[in-house]
Structure 1
Amino acid sequence: MMNWGALREDDPQRYLSRPFEQPRNAFPAALMRDFAASGFDFVRLTLDVGPFIQLQGGDKQALEQKLLDNIGLFHELGLGVIVDCHPVEQVPLYSAQSILENLESPLFDQYTAMISRLASLLAGVRSGRVALELMNEPVVRDASHRTQVFVWGAAQLVLHDAARRAAADLPLLLTGADYGGVSGLDDLDPSPFLDSNTLFSFHYYLPLAFTHQGLDLGMEDAPAAPYVVDLPYPYDAVPPDELAARIDARIASDTALDASARAKARAHAHRILDGFLSDGWDRDLVQRDMDRVAGWADSNKIDRHRIVMGECGATGRNARFTGAEPVYRRRWLSDVTGLAQARGFGWSVWEINTPEFGIQRSDDPDRIDPEIATALGMSA
């Protein structure tokens, strides 16, 4: 609804004055009614931060009103809202890497001012069912994990304090460094925030070879390829030879590949498969990670109900996209959300209605898939 803002054709570094008025930004009212009826109780509304920094004057006022109106639509359905500041890279200037590159830069100052303004706006929403997430998946360009922790730790403290000055009691969602995963949260020092109205978030997409199958992210640390789409969960639900044969058959059937490209694709796909099998992902490994998060909370004397698994998800299989087989996807979603909830954590699924990660029915886009809802423990 409010991400990937529309850009000007004559200048793709600048946003349209009304960046979220495209057909794809339309509020899917019937779907959201079914979403709420299925048992979900909040929505994580992601914001492209670029327009909130770049637009000025009347355009900015209209943008802020659009945000408040969208929050109101969700509240009318009984849903709480986490407003998630979600930098994206379509305008490189407003990526997380650019924003965090220099904490003394004008850009970071502009981002901090944006956080302060959003906090002030949301403080005026009297429902008591809105929170502000300071940054989605913070990452510092070309930095070690330890450097990520130090830089994001300093940045988050500045952003938290700016938001808190603007809104004394607004719930703020904080996260760890290095894409906000389990290890980032584990290395987060929460001591400056314990007496503040804060929640703590982590994201969960493990193993990436399973959760992102069918995608090709082009990143060494995110192993995925469009040919690796038959991986099961748990890892040993299908014999390894059968998995390898399926992958080879997909590559062989791609007539766009010449012999050299086919050999390269096969080598890449089998590296992913070998890593997936050697890691041995199953319920026990997911449980280990959830216990690690619970241990972090307990050791820091943080109530587990202040922990939110802010994103989790796996690609699906439908007419528009080939991801994980439904039975394995549902099993993974059930384990991950169930184990999180059993430890007192809140959770949010990425995402509602896209071909890749959506949880809507393939034959009725205005309905949540009831089998997925059941896997998630929803009332449907």
Structure 2
Amino acid sequence: MKRVACVAAWVFGIVIAANAAPIPLERGVGVHEWLNWSPVEKDGAYRWPPYRSEKEWLAGNRPLTDWPGGEEFARIRSMGFDFVRLSVDPGPLLASEGAKRQQALDILAAVVRRVASTGLKVVFDLHGVTQVPAYSMEMIYGGADSEGVARYREMVVAVATMLVKVGTDKVALEPYNEPAYYPCDSSGTDDWQRIMAGTVHDIRTVSSELTVVATGACGGSIAGLVNLTPGFDDPNLYYSFHMYEPHSFTHQRADGTHTFASGLPWPADNSTPEVVTETLKAQMDAAGLSPVEQVMNMVSARAAIARYFEQNWGQSQLEASFRQAVDWAKAHDIPSRRLFMGEFGVILMSADGRMGAFDADRLRYMTAVRQVAERFSIPWSVWEYANPYGMTLILPKGPAAPDPGLMQALGLAPQ
């Protein structure tokens, strides 16, 4: 009888493992401006209790009266999204312990419960920032065996414990965002492999059911993902990559008041270097740049334009990038639906033409990326819900309405 019971338990375990899966995700949007950059006091310490209120977030870059009122996350759900990727500054958690840390965790638990109550799943993205240097992501860059990594991993365990209480059917934990280890250029070590594997192991000591979003190094790129060895894999894991390829198109911007970097087309063969150059010159004229400023600007701009057209980015290269991730997953017996495109987006051209892509080019790119991801059943999260920086779903001025062209590019019904 004892042997029969053991066999039954073993079979039951196999069935559970076979049926295990991460929480279902399909179409998401990043919410980055709310819980990142937790407010600091004049002395540089975090304001306590930490994190902004929802009203502080909504009023941060525009009048609160621009927003329609009501439950903002219910509105996100009504747009056709099934999850949000909620960026959270880990700094206050790293800077506190005991009852003080628990207070911060309680605030975050209440936020996740409220968002989830609208029917949205939540990808809880620990997204380090630099405003308090002692608790920026620099603390994890001393190597896998460093004190900073140990402290960070201990904090991740506390977050995982909190999220399990919220409900493993509602939330996933993404412990790292765009880690700046660079083994993919052959100059690095195996530190990131060890950090990621160790962190997954830590979370699994808390829960085998909590969905975890793992990431490769190299800024969270596809190159970093395919450098990762997923020996720590289990059925409740997603594998993240961010799609900003080519970066020269998605992030057209230059440093400095009198610099212009804009107007590259998508795909590249949709225009010519000559047209882009003449358009840039016209924009600089309209902005009142002097001939000397224009010449200085064009020295670097011409080189960037030439490189972009030489690379001739288009649909075939985009698909080849995705194929790297899909082939990596297949080689490790991971279904492509457990890949996770955690960010993609394009800076829209600014009113003065100093940065960004023309809207038509931006929308062609966003449509193409979204469609390729969906062809491989890869869930995605667009960057980002609402901000004034040119990569936003909510229009940056006037009534806080979603951009109808971008909604269409995402395959969602315009609002």
Residue aligning to 1:171: 211
2:380 is aligned with 1:347: yes
Residue aligning to 1:161: 201
Equivalent residue in structure 2 for 1:17, among 33, 48, 65: 48
Residue aligning to 1:183: 223
- CA drift of 1:378 comes to 1.7
Residue aligning to 1:221: none
Cα shift readout 1:309-366 (whole Å, capped 9, x = no counterpart): 0111111246699522211111111100110111011111110101221111355543
Q: Answer with 1 or 2: which has the greater Rg.
A: 2
- CA drift of 1:42 comes to 0.5
**Which residue identity does 1:88 align to in structure 2?**
V
Residue aligning to 1:122: 163
List aligned pairs for 1:135-146, cutoff 5 A.
135-140=176-181, 145-146=185-186
C-alpha contact (below 8 Å) 1:31/1:368 kept by paired residues = no
**Which residue identity does 1:357 align to in structure 2?**
M
C-alpha contact (below 8 Å) 1:82/1:132 kept by paired residues = yes
Residue aligning to 2:89: 48
* Of 303-312 and 147-156, the range deviating more from structure 2: 147-156
Residue aligning to 2:239: 200
List aligned pairs for 1:247-266, cutoff 5 A.
247-252=280-285, 255=288, 259=292, 262-266=294-298
C-alpha contact (below 8 Å) 2:184/2:223 kept by paired residues = no
Check 1:46–1:346 CA distance in 2 against 1; reply closer, same or farther (3 A cut).
same
Aligned to 1:110, the other structure's residue is in SS state helix
Residue aligning to 1:281: 313
**Which residue identity does 2:265 align to in structure 1?**
P
Equivalent residue in structure 1 for 2:337, among 281, 300, 305: 305
- CA drift of 1:213 comes to 1.6
- CA drift of 1:283 comes to 1.3
Aligned to 2:163, the other structure's residue is in SS state helix
C-alpha contact (below 8 Å) 1:43/1:80 kept by paired residues = yes
Q: How many angstroms apart in 2 are the aligned matches of 1:40 and 1:294? A: 24
Q: TM-score, normalised by structure 2?
A: 0.82
Cα shift readout 1:158-206 (whole Å, capped 9, x = no counterpart): 111111112221111001111011111111101222x352110101101
Aligned to 1:308, the other structure's residue is in SS state strand
2:303 is aligned with 1:271: yes
Residue aligning to 2:412: 378
For structure 2, the 5+ residue unaligned runs are: 1-33, 60-66
- CA drift of 1:254 comes to 5.0
C-alpha contact (below 8 Å) 2:340/2:378 kept by paired residues = yes
Check 1:365–1:157 CA distance in 2 against 1; reply closer, same or farther (3 A cut).
farther
Q: TM-score, normalised by structure 1?
A: 0.89
C-alpha contact (below 8 Å) 1:185/1:201 kept by paired residues = yes
* Of 333-342 and 55-64, the range deviating more from structure 2: 55-64
C-alpha contact (below 8 Å) 1:149/1:177 kept by paired residues = no
**Which residue identity does 1:133 align to in structure 2?**
E
Residue aligning to 2:151: 110
**Which residue identity does 2:212 align to in structure 1?**
L
Check 1:291–1:54 CA distance in 2 against 1; reply closer, same or farther (3 A cut).
same
Paired residues, what number?
368
C-alpha contact (below 8 Å) 1:230/1:325 kept by paired residues = yes
For structure 1, the 5+ residue unaligned runs are: 219-224
Cα shift readout 1:9-38 (whole Å, capped 9, x = no counterpart): 12x2x2111332265434975553332112
Residue aligning to 2:64: none
2:243 is aligned with 1:211: no
C-alpha contact (below 8 Å) 2:272/2:309 kept by paired residues = no
C-alpha contact (below 8 Å) 1:204/1:311 kept by paired residues = yes
- CA drift of 1:152 comes to 0.7
2:369 is aligned with 1:328: no
Residue aligning to 1:95: 136
**Which residue identity does 2:46 align to in structure 1?**
Y
Residue aligning to 1:232: 265
Percent of counterpart pairs with the same letter?
A: 28
Q: How many angstroms apart in 1 are the aligned matches of 2:268 and 2:286? A: 25
Q: How many angstroms apart in 1 are the aligned matches of 2:188 and 2:383? A: 24
- CA drift of 1:87 comes to 1.2
Q: How many angstroms apart in 2 are the aligned matches of 1:334 and 1:170? A: 32
* Of 315-324 and 284-293, the range deviating more from structure 2: 315-324
Aligned to 2:266, the other structure's residue is in SS state coil
Check 1:319–1:32 CA distance in 2 against 1; reply closer, same or farther (3 A cut).
farther
- CA drift of 1:57 comes to 4.3
Residue aligning to 1:246: 279
Residue aligning to 1:316: 348
- CA drift of 1:263 comes to 3.5
Check 1:62–1:257 CA distance in 2 against 1; reply closer, same or farther (3 A cut).
farther
Aligned to 1:163, the other structure's residue is in SS state helix
C-alpha contact (below 8 Å) 2:168/2:209 kept by paired residues = no
Aligned to 2:268, the other structure's residue is in SS state coil
2:374 is aligned with 1:361: no
C-alpha contact (below 8 Å) 1:48/1:88 kept by paired residues = yes
Check 1:105–1:186 CA distance in 2 against 1; reply closer, same or farther (3 A cut).
closer
Q: How many angstroms apart in 2 are the aligned matches of 1:104 and 1:257? A: 54
Aligned to 2:238, the other structure's residue is in SS state strand
Q: How many angstroms apart in 2 are the aligned matches of 1:144 and 1:95? A: 23
